[in-house]
Amino acid sequence: MAMIKRSLSALLLALFALGVQAQHAQHAGHDAPKPKKRAPALAIGAAFAPSGELWVVGLDEQQRLAVQTSADEGRSWTPPRVLERADEAISADGENRPKIAFGPRGQVVISYTQPLARPYTGAIRLLRSADGGRSFAAPVTVHADRQLITHRFESIAFDAQGTLHTLWIDKRDLEAAPSKKGYRGAAIYRNESRDGGASFGPDIKLAEHSCECCRIALAPSPDGRLAALWRHVFVPNQRDHAFALLGAPARAEPVRASFDRWAVDACPHHGPGLAPAAQGGYHAVWFGERDGIAAVRYGRLAADGTPQGDAQPLPDEAAEHADLISAGAKLAIVWRSYDGQATRLRAWLSRNDGRSFELRDLDRSADDNDHPRLVRQGERLFALWRTTKGIHVHALVP
């Protein structure tokens, strides 16, 4: 029975993905069927500023892009400050949410996907501040390609040298393919900005044949670069995960980081998480179906992204939308779990680099809620969870 339930969950996730896309199309002015009740757009981005303040960015009740800050780790918040973005539509659902990142020289950048006039199309937009977030310049499009196609599900991060990296899912190669039916998925593109988002280098193809609607995970590498993990469509149609070090020599095919061999003709809107391990390599978490059993799994990756040992399912058959974060030997994996009456926020916590874990229940809500977000301040780790009642902040591994 558990196997049947978990297999059905994969199908439900795929159907949910289609529903989210329909909402985005309607928000952009398309002739999508009008839902009876639209769920609130609760997805947020979060990060600690160098000053120690916790920042979040998301949509307010009027669907305006806004930031809030907290000087006491989420116990109290400033009123929302609305950011000017020319009344653009903004994706703020689940995997596709606004993001915020702080650079080394007073830079603050906020990115989001702007849905465009055709279904499943979008542009990656970015607001930039050079004064620590006191003011922001008008939004700009990050990528050089301006076709009315998919540029969506972006991720942003600064590396150790202060270079801003933006990665996104892109369908320009699918559009150019002689046969769209013969092209697997989409592609991962990226670019770099060496001036905190004031200008951007060329669009660089990282890999063809990515999944279409799953978030891209980024993590720092030991040499100060960034590593990326994303859901990939391997031959013939296996939706596992791929790994790449940004700036490394191009490969004909990316490193395969998971071997669930899940063959499904849909995107589950369920991206992975990635964090550095204290003993080298990386911690990773992802959702997939293996031998008919759908589950969120935790595994270790070597420095080159190849799997180390067997991945293990999280201790919760209902786990979904997990993510993870690390600080030295401290590791936190956090996820949502619906128990039939309410959604629980749960965590698997380790103080010894993933050798052993403690299961902890953090929160519970019967209201609409976002996927959990994870942030780090020095050696301290925090989980953020937004519900219709507000933003809940939980300190994790002490």
Alpha-carbon distance 46 to 30, whole Å?
Answer: 30
The domain locations on the chain are: 2-31+45-269
Model pLDDT, residue 315:
98
Quick: pLDDT tens for 112-157.
999 999 999 999 999 999 999 999 999 999 999 999 999 999 999 9
Arithmetic mean of pLDDT over the chain:
91
Model pLDDT, residue 37:
58
Q: Name the 3-class secondary structure at 228.
A: strand
Fold of 2-31+45-269: Neuraminidase (2.120.10)
* Tokens 């009642």, residue located: 389
- Residue stretches of the chain with pLDDT short of 70: 1-38
Model pLDDT, residue 18:
38
Quick: pLDDT tens for 218-241.
999 999 999 999 999 999 999 999
Cα angle 272-277-280, degrees, rounded to a multiple of 5: 120
DSSP string, 277-313: -TTSSEEEEEEEEETTEEEEEEEEE-TTS-EEEEEEE
Model pLDDT, residue 27:
32
Residues 6+ apart with CB under 8 A from 191: 142, 143, 144, 165, 166, 200, 201, 202, 203, 204
- Residue 338 tokens read as 């619906």
Model pLDDT, residue 8:
40
Alpha-carbon distance 38 to 53, whole Å?
Answer: 32
Model pLDDT, residue 181:
86
- Residue 394 tokens read as 């939980």
